[in-house]
Amino acid sequence: MQQRSIKRKIRCSGAGLHSGRRVGLVFRPAAENSGIIFHVKGAHGARTLRPDPELVSCTCLATTLGLEEGARVSTVEHLMAAVRGLGIDNMHIDVEGGEIPIMDGSAAVFVRLFGEAGLRVQDAPRRVARIRESARFEREGKYIAVEPYDGFLVDCSISFPHPSIGAQRFCLNLTPETFPEVADARTFGFLRDVEALRESGLALGGSLDNAVVLDDKGVLNPEGLRRPDEFVRHKILDFIGDAAMFPLPLRGKFRLHCTGHGLNNEFLRHLSAHPGLWARAIEGCPQRETPRLYSPLPRAAAAYAG
């Protein structure tokens, strides 16, 4: 599998979820092995940011990349889900206004945009981070369990005591062909939380145009849901986007239960801190792995250690 970029420069704009202001993006093709590079324009010129779980500074409302004031970009997850969902490896993203426009609360607009730009297959093979050992990451009953798998498979379940949600489960084996199954699933929130956020000066751009909003009885959006299980599909979309904060595309099977941006980021940091759990590899080429960073203790030493 070869790396991909977009064929030509393309731009878009829309409302920022946090500020409510109009924010703009320019996407530009990038050379192979460049990765995804954000150029964040602030008062002090443009700063460069690359996906890195350690550089995720806030996960309360959406995922924010960047630690410094003026060099951050908020609400990256739906855009990055489209990037990974379509298999884009290399691209420059110029960000004006400090956040990614919320659009309709899903990745659908970005998918359409990259479709208009067209995708270019490059010469270099895709480099990935392949999960090599099973692991389970758990916090207060919520969890992410991983195991080796030659692809990116997400099996997600959620449980909300609400008449419109309840227990939902969806499984996606991610490819550019299957990504539309989750790409148009919108973010969702509860009216009481939205009102509290507004009073705190947050989510100023949030509205029924870019989120499914629920009160205690049901969905407030006049058009209703796009699919009955739109909620769990959006959780998968968020996981795809948040997992794109890992520097290389991850390859593995992921079982998620009631995940959110915070847990997703903690999990990625756990992977970063435990390089024995994964290996750099060339996609579709099982032999090309870096050697293990540690080896089991010899028998005698193990006996002493015990």
Query: Minimal distance in Å, beta carbon 187 to Zn ion?
Result: 4
Piece in contact with Zn ion (CB under 5 A), picked from 45-53, 93-101, 149-157, 230-238: 230-238
Measured CA to CA, the distance from residue 147 to residue 304 in angstroms comes to 31
Question: Given the DSSP bridges, would you call strands 166-173 and 285-289 parallel, antiparallel or unpaired?
Answer: unpaired
Question: Given the DSSP bridges, would you call strands 119-125 and 91-96 parallel, antiparallel or unpaired?
Answer: unpaired
Query: Minimal distance in Å, beta carbon 223 to Zn ion?
Result: 19
- Judged by CB, which is closer to Zn ion: 233, or 251? 233
- Judged by CB, which is closer to Zn ion: 29, or 206? 206
Piece in contact with Zn ion (CB under 5 A), picked from 141-149, 171-179, 186-194, 200-208: 186-194
Asked if residue 242 binds Zn ion (CB under 5 A), the reply is no
Looking at residue 221, its amino acid is N
Query: Minimal distance in Å, beta carbon 78 to Zn ion?
Result: 6
Beta strands in the chain (DSSP E): 2-6, 10-15, 22-29, 36-42, 45-49, 56-58, 64-65, 91-96, 119-125, 127-131, 135-139, 142-147, 152-160, 166-173, 188-190, 212-214, 250-257, 278-282, 285-289
261 labelled catalytic: yes
Helix, strand, coil shares of the chain, percent, nearest 5, are 25, 35, 40
- Judged by CB, which is closer to Zn ion: 32, or 238? 238
Q: What is the DSSP letter of 230?
A: H
- Judged by CB, which is closer to Zn ion: 12, or 62? 62
- Judged by CB, which is closer to Zn ion: 181, or 283? 181
Query: Minimal distance in Å, beta carbon 234 to Zn ion?
Result: 6
Which of 5, 63, 187, 264: binder of Zn ion (CB under 5 A)?
187
Half-sphere exposure (CA, 13 Å, Cβ side) for 296?
5
Piece in contact with Zn ion (CB under 5 A), picked from 131-139, 218-226, 235-243, 246-254: 235-243
Query: Minimal distance in Å, beta carbon 107 to Zn ion?
Result: 9
Which of 238, 251, 254, 279: binder of Zn ion (CB under 5 A)?
238
Q: What is the DSSP letter of 62?
A: S
Catalytic residue among 18, 92, 234, 261: 261
Question: Given the DSSP bridges, would you call strands 188-190 and 91-96 parallel, antiparallel or unpaired?
Answer: unpaired
Q: Give the rounded distance of the alpha carbon of 47 from its chain centre.
A: 21
Residue ranges binding Zn ion (CB under 5 A): 187, 238
Catalytic positions, written as ranges: 261
